[in-house]
Amino acid sequence: AQSVTQLGSHVSVSEGALVLLRCNYSSSVPPYLFWYVQYPNQGLQLLLKYTSAATLVKGINGFEAEFKKSETSFHLTKPSAHMSDAAEYFCAVTHGGTSGSRLTFGEGTQLTVNP
């Protein structure tokens, strides 16, 4: 079985400050890892994904994440927060296999950006 833990259900930063959203995973096989963003009253949008290539993954809107196997982590960062980054962020891991890409999601982290 695979699982994801997101540390901190709410994170608050000032505009221009570093954003760090934490994600730890558990997987018995090499994982594929994802970060999705959800803006209010919208569906989920892919930010970035790790699929066993480069361990530092760059995504949209200036976000990036680093896969650290030794720490079973895939934390999301952005050097300078913008007001438009306020949203809920979800980390997810695949079950893998051949019968579809079943995602297991973390509980989500609500990011607030203060002016």
Partner 1 sequence: NAGVTQTPKFQVLKTGQSMTLQCAQDMNHNSMYWYRQDPGMGLRLIYYSASEGTTDKGEVPNGYNVSRLNKREFSLRLESAAPSQTSVYFCASSGGSDTQYFGPGTRLTVL
Q: Does 59 bind partner 1 (CB under 8 A)?
A: no
Cα radius of gyration rounded to whole Å, the chain: 14
Q: Which is nearer to partner 1, 52 or 80 (CB)?
A: 52
Sole window of 19-27, 59-67, 74-82, 97-105 interacting with partner 1 (rule: CB under 8 A)? 97-105
Q: DSSP secondary-structure letter at 115?
A: -
Q: Does 90 bind partner 1 (CB under 8 A)?
A: yes
Longest dimension (CA), the chain: 46
Return the C-alpha torsion angle 2, 28, 51, 99, nearest 10. -70
Q: Does 103 bind partner 1 (CB under 8 A)?
A: yes
SS3 84: helix
Q: How far is the CB of 88 from partner 1 (least distance, A)?
A: 10
Q: Which residues contribute to the site for partner 1 (CB under 8 A)?
A: 9, 32, 34, 36, 41-46, 49, 51, 90, 94, 98-108
